[in-house]
Structure 1
């Protein structure tokens, strides 16, 4: 079980696999008013930066689940590095359908809502691991400005304009599902730059080290296109945020 190889290569040097900067990730932990001992579930936990830094800074405990063998190994290494391996556990596995053995004060899916077939299904999945009056965290893209054409939307990692809401519509959709939005932390363009631009150096270094690899042509194509696409499309049209929800 693993994610597509392209992600294991391009994001191999990432600690955060979304457009949040370390400062924004710390802000998210702070605004949630996490108390020591709060149990946090993170589905699609990537390299574990959220759980590891929150365990260090706020004293939470938690469990993360991710399909990437590489990222899961990096998460365990990060826990050791920060001295929190006794507080957080990382499982290499399919987060889709995962339910924690013990109820959690926070249940999160920060950027992988495909595990539940979309936002509504992912919220439904997370509630099965959530304690009474617990908080759900959803990380999701939205349109900063509506793309003028479907072709532009495709350049922003969408299949069509209808894949994402504008921010007001996204907030309203949580209301429709019966949840109060109690906090949010939004990525900014610097966050997008750090997430996307970091891939470019990683790809270049990988190409230098693996010139004869069968995947080299694909990586070269990505590196040729990614900077131009980012500055023309992703950076201008696509927003991203983490939204804290509580059921009414």
Structure 2
């Protein structure tokens, strides 16, 4: 089964497809001071919930980008539900290929830095689409313990390493909104729930075993390593003041 099909299955019952909450996403909006004059770009936007929440509460306008047609369908339905379709646009394409001459007040990439390769390259790419006085907002997993297994150390950085990347890229770290363990568990278990429900509803599907294997691998990775050694946070950055 295609990887994106597996992700669509696992995320079916979710709105916020990161280990965060609507309240924290709104807190980010308050910190970056978005309002009805603000233009926001969200790359790897998923179901567009960040844009939807900011559109509803702060009246922003903006663009969401995601490679999945299912994500676009969900996002556009959400925008319509909130009567925001005249302010929010969704582009279905690989975020890495998205190009624009527009400069945005806020550029975001929440939980999707794999699009550009890593955190640092994401920040450097987003800078080109950001106003000089704008903000970059990146959601990223980090190593919470120095004794993390080597396999995890290859996949994630410590927050001090992220800070060095931020400064080397010409930015200042303005704020961190960290996810709680409960939010991590909610996000992970919502993924499991989506997979379990699909298996329940498709007992004779020819790719059932592949979905089950994906679930089991996901559970083993989280309970053996990730829950103990990693965290997740939203990092808010502005260009260097010097």
Pairwise CA distance, 1:168: 2.1
The whole-number CA distance in structure 2 between the counterparts of 1:122 and 1:223 is: 29
1:56-95 to structure 2, matched below 5 A, reads 56-95=56-95
SS in 2 for 1:4: helix
Pairwise CA distance, 1:141: 1.2
Does the 8 Å contact 1:143/1:238 carry over to 2?
yes
Partner of 2:160: 168
The whole-number CA distance in structure 2 between the counterparts of 1:10 and 1:231 is: 17
Partner of 1:23: 23
1:5-44 to structure 2, matched below 5 A, reads 5-44=5-44
Picking from 197, 211, 223, the partner of 1:219 is 211
Post-superposition CA distance 1:166-194 (Å, at most 9, x none): 12221222112221011221111111111
Partner of 2:117: 117
Pairwise CA distance, 1:97: 3.3
- TM-score normalised according to structure 2 size: 0.91
Does the 8 Å contact 1:97/1:125 carry over to 2?
no
Partner of 1:50: 50
Pairwise CA distance, 1:80: 0.9
SS in 1 for 2:231: strand
The whole-number CA distance in structure 2 between the counterparts of 1:179 and 1:205 is: 43
The whole-number CA distance in structure 2 between the counterparts of 1:124 and 1:230 is: 30
Q: What is the number of equivalent residue pairs in this alignment? A: 239
The whole-number CA distance in structure 1 between the counterparts of 2:206 and 2:30 is: 45
The whole-number CA distance in structure 2 between the counterparts of 1:232 and 1:30 is: 36
SS in 1 for 2:20: coil
Pairwise CA distance, 1:164: 1.8
Pairwise CA distance, 1:88: 0.5
Does the 8 Å contact 1:207/1:219 carry over to 2?
yes
Partner of 1:196: 188
Check 1:116–1:77 CA distance in 2 against 1; reply closer, same or farther (3 A cut): same
Partner of 2:198: 206
The whole-number CA distance in structure 1 between the counterparts of 2:24 and 2:169 is: 26
Does the 8 Å contact 1:75/1:90 carry over to 2?
yes
Does the 8 Å contact 1:41/1:100 carry over to 2?
no
Pairwise CA distance, 1:238: 1.0
Post-superposition CA distance 1:61-106 (Å, at most 9, x none): 1100100111111000011112211110111111103233422100
- TM-score normalised according to structure 1 size: 0.89
Name structure 2 gaps, 5 residues minimum: none
The whole-number CA distance in structure 2 between the counterparts of 1:128 and 1:225 is: 37
Check 1:103–1:148 CA distance in 2 against 1; reply closer, same or farther (3 A cut): closer
